Structure 1
Amino acid sequence: MMYRLIGEAAMVVHFLFLAFMAVGGFLAWRWKWLIWPHLAVAAWGIVSVVTGIECPLTVVENWGRHHAGLAGLRPGGFIDTYIEGVIYPEEHTNLVRLGVVILVLTSWTGFVLRRR
């Protein structure tokens, strides 16, 4: 039971992490200190997409699921298991990534303009 809880908690944190990556810059308009964690999260997002490095949250979720006797995530990890082909069709991956980049850049532009 505890292992399953660890795996499910990692999944929830992963979803929150992705949500923060998409809209954290807008939250920084209200709470300025959030820009720094958002920059780090966005940098991790870029590095993980470009290099294909496995996210530590994926490792934790797979570990918890394995020890709970459940199947692990698909070979592509969290995104391939819960996002691509579920929330949007896989053939739109690059369009979705572009949308997230535009969303993040818009939030950063707004942050800079609001600081003036």
Structure 2
Amino acid sequence: MSENPYVTHNARILEVKDLTSREKLFTLRFLDPEVEANFNFKPGQFVIVDIRGFGEFPISICSSPTRRGYLQLCIRKAGRMTKFIHKMKEGDIIGIRGPYGNGFPMEKMEGSNLILVAGG
């Protein structure tokens, strides 16, 4: 991955799965194999989704960092940008920048009983 976290990398939408009438799960893969191989993140981090010529927005990563070869984003249709991405199809290209945020301190939580609640 680029040393510069502000560089946007192209990713192909591999799959779009309807979860509810308002949420879709997008499975993505970076077009550049080197970017794909070096993309690392921690649970709790997010990326900026860039829809070229339209705008960008932040979304939390919902896939596991231990599962390599794809990135998953669960996106709720709530505003102009998310309504637009909900119309996109498998094979479409979007930009991804990041990851950002500190993530969760997983090493400190090891062995603990946890309940994680998320919202947007």
Looking at secondary structure, tell me which structure has more helix per residue: 1
Q: Which has the higher contact order (CA 8 A, sep 6+)?
A: 1
- Is TM-score (shorter-chain normalized) higher than 0.5? no
Looking at secondary structure, tell me which structure has more strand per residue: 2
| TM-score between both structures, scaled by the size of structure 1 | 0.24
| TM-score between both structures, scaled by the size of structure 2 | 0.23
Larger Rg: 1
